[in-house]
Copies of this chain bind each other. A is one copy, B any other.
């Protein structure tokens, strides 16, 4: 991934680290770096044209979020989220989604609607051919817009972290499920969020979001049960 031309003198160091962090996190969550990938600090340093030091800060933060794991003498590997944790996180996210609307109404910036419309358009196109990466990108896009209407900063921070801990699950779920239905439900959520937003009904936004999270959670439970059954058959 090519980094933008670096006017280093104009960018504050913390902002640069933040950019690198988001870039690597995105690559992890879109499976450009699939689980198990070994990220070498030296390679990343060369890619981003910095030394290992700021890269280590970024990896350290990713490790706190559980997206990578560093072991001395081995390397920094992209993690696989435990299935059990995945369900727990989805339960948390569903709970928190209900809390989105519990604050005073927040009039969203006008470009939120534009962004949502663009996402909806892209999502429609997805129906034509299976494109998991595109699906992931739209998911991230929707998440980004939902974040923007959450007034409470702590809630925003927690939601963001939990989201990025779980996005990758779609790459496992969709193939075992139905591409058409996954796309359809994503389209529906975007539309419903947009409509709820248009009537300043934050509570509805939260509930729409909660319901889709809940759907995924049920799917995860089903998958877990199937795996348990498989294990039982083998035993």
A residues at B contact (CB < 8 Å): 1-2, 12-14, 56-57, 60-61, 63-64, 66, 70, 72, 85, 88-89, 91-92, 95-96, 99, 102-103, 152-155, 158, 162, 165
Contact = CB atoms under 8 A, between A and B. Distances in A.
Nearest to A156: B88
B61 A153 contact: no
B96 A102 contact: no
Given A1-B66, A57-B60, A92 B162 contact: no
Contacts of A57: 56-57, 60
B64 A1 contact: yes
Contacts of A72: 12-13
Given A60-B57, A64-B2, A64-B64, A102 B91 contact: yes
A152 B92 contact: yes
A168 to B, nearest CB: 15
A96 B98 CA distance: 12
Number of copies: 2
A22 to B, nearest CB: 14
15 contacts: A1-B66, A2-B64, A13-B72, A61-B61, A61-B64, A88-B103, A88-B152, A89-B154, A91-B99, A91-B102, A91-B152, A92-B96, A95-B95, A95-B96, A154-B165
Nearest to A65: B1
Contact of A92 (B66, B88, B89, B154): B154
Given A61-B61, A92-B152, 11 more contacts: A2-B64, A12-B72, A56-B57, A60-B61, A85-B153, A85-B154, A89-B154, A91-B99, A92-B158, A154-B162, A158-B162
A102 B90 CA distance: 13
Nearest to A161: B158
The 9 closest A-B pairs by CB, nearest first: A88-B152, A89-B154, A88-B154, A1-B66, A95-B99, A92-B154, A57-B60, A158-B158, A85-B153
Given A64-B2, A158-B158, A153 B88 contact: yes
